[in-house]
Structure 1
Amino acid sequence: MIPPSVRRWTPKHVAKWLKDEGFCDYVDLLCHKHRLDGSSLLALSEYDLRSPPLELKVLGDIKRLMASIRKLQKQNLDTLEELGLPFDGHSPTGSGDWLCNGEAARACDGSDTAPVGEEYQKYTNGKYKQQTRRLDPECWKTVLSSVYVVFVFGFTSFVMVIVHERVPDMATYPPLPDIFLDSVPRIPWAFAMAEACGVILCIIWLMVLLLHKHRSILLRRMCSLMGTVFMLRCITMFVTSLSVPGQHLQCSGKMYGDTWAKLRRAVAIWSGFGMTLTGVHTCGDYMFSGHTVVITLLNFFVTEYTPRSWHFIHTLSWVLNLFGIFFILAAHEHYSIDVFIAFYITTRLFLYYHTLANTRAYQQSRRARIWFPMFSFFECNVNGPVPNEYCWPFSRPAVLKFVIG
């Protein structure tokens, strides 16, 4: 008879495994008294064996039992991932730490001395908290991601000039039927309001980025996602030219003669961030909406990298995002499908990126490394979710340090 997977083990299966491994003395304690099943067996740590309610007393038995459990964990990595317990060869939490009530352990034995060779943070009461993992900022990767997004923005600006040259003649190709645009009258000042929503979201995000302890990782992710979405936008707006969505738009093709004129126009668009508030007006770059991409991505980064208790910031971020989308449509600057596709692609890429990064599933997936080589390169040393920790980015002046003490 083929034994079930470890996750489906009952206390009877665990008892049989303990007997096979030579731990008959602990069958009654673990299986009968504490009803240990397969999932809880995989989640066991050395701290669980030493502390109440188990409190094993024989050090040799503890070490040998943990060696057998780690071997079992290594044979069932998929089950550990499903249980949310990544494994790195030391413990099911992936860090080798002892855990107290689900949080990173302090010196649980009450000692005030941090063990040698580990990174600890000292509390004001003299206790120590072990750092579960170290998130290397890898600033050089952040610089590369910044170069990547700047290049993509420049390339996007040049493609916008090309598609402006190919914009369909308004007399021959009138605006396409659109349920929203046909139902809602145009608001002339709406597009400026949409860009104002984006500016406010950008200010909020810059404040979060400035104060976040892991700002380098956050900026790298922002640049990576922003560059990738805008590269996709280059493709979609280049392959198909939609007609102008409103008669109020004064668009005409063949405005720029030679290549140098196109490059100068691309630089003007790039330096003005493609915003009408900076005097940039473009036509033909409809599928899909770049303004929707920016405000949606800013909203998702603000809500992802701020604590869940910051309800006001999260509500404000979503209100700005939704109002920004509404104002884009109310200004009749884009078709409804432009905005919908932009929102869908941006949110899916954001969620897919963070799901892979937080679970580190790409490390076991060769397909993910092939299809997303840049993602694998940027995230290879980020172990799991980035905690929302904040610190003041600037050092205090020497005089102020002396006064404070």
Structure 2
Amino acid sequence: MRGNGLSGQSRTRLSLLIVATTALTILTGCQSDEPSEENGTTRSESQCARVADVAPEASARKTALVVDNTASGLFGSLPPGVTSALRAAQERGDSLVLVGVDGAGAPPSRTIALDPAPGSDSQASQRARALTLECVPTWARGDDLRPTGPGSRILSALGRAAEDQPETILVVSDGVSNSGEFDLNKQQFDVEPKGLADALRDANALSPALRGKKVVWAGLGDTSDEQRLPQSARTSLEKLWGAVLKAAGATVTFESEHAPSTTPAPPGLPSDPITVPAATEVRDGCATRVSIPSSLLFAADSADLQPEADGVLDPVVDQLQKDAEATAIVAGHTANYGDAGYRKDLSTRRAQAVVTALSARGVNTARLESVGYGAERPAVEEFVNGRHDTAAAARNRRVEIEIRPGGCTR
């Protein structure tokens, strides 16, 4: 027997007959995918609805699936790793808690019996189980789990899933949280992971229900073509969510394998903007000062330039190549969080990494100078009424390049 079959209790012949009848009803209620004359829905949709109507057993263990149907993410089939995990959960006899990511209000949820015929090994029951797994993507992407407000409160959805005490929380999401206390449009992708986690804990944004939970995450960083993330942001997301879930007492595994999406986002979804900052350039006397947010160049807590950094530095290279007498001072700045010595070292290594990149593009190192200030020269104040402002910290994490043309003596 399977899952919650005869283990620990004795089923009567009548109960087995009811189970078998349920499975047969699911499968024989409709035998084709032709539209129903009554309501215009396809037969497969009708079958999924029948499976969903099977009440989960009260004693069944649970697996949760958090699905991000917000406008920034990818749609389509579920990743292979998630499908495999669902199959294993069905073998155990788990029920499935489906939770949608929303931007406002309570995350939508529903519970499904992964095994619609527990205790039965008949052909009809086996086919009903196969149908159930085939229907999970339909339920996961259905209207019931669509967001009702703008943005993505992914942390809230994780907390809601944990409340049902599942064995595992499966997550299919781009991971770009942009609403509530965890707002990467303000904090930016290179926010210090521990600093972010501490701020969320201090704001009571980490659900106690997450403690001890196992999280398996697929699709992290996989945003729509219209809002494609730079590699630095994708790299940072794993560090950020790893730190946040660790602070909540959970463990997380990030799955890299995923099924390519072929389905466009449905129309009418609430807005879910992703803000990637841009470099700014201002005149400062005879010099030009270029300020580049660190998130455009580096992943969180890293001094390794990301592949897209070359494109960000192109305007600087152009200016230095047009004027053979021009010089540049590259200054690294960090937020005012953590050990001062570490901040100074990180800012110094980042400034030197930019100098090395400019040199590799043909700029003579004799014309370049690097310096790291740590948090000694903030662009804005980070602490307001004794509380650390992570959005202000994002503005302070930057690399400034002062370009002095030939003859500029400031």
The TM-score normalised by the length of structure 1 is: 0.23
Which structure has the highest strand share of the two? 2
The TM-score normalised by the length of structure 2 is: 0.23
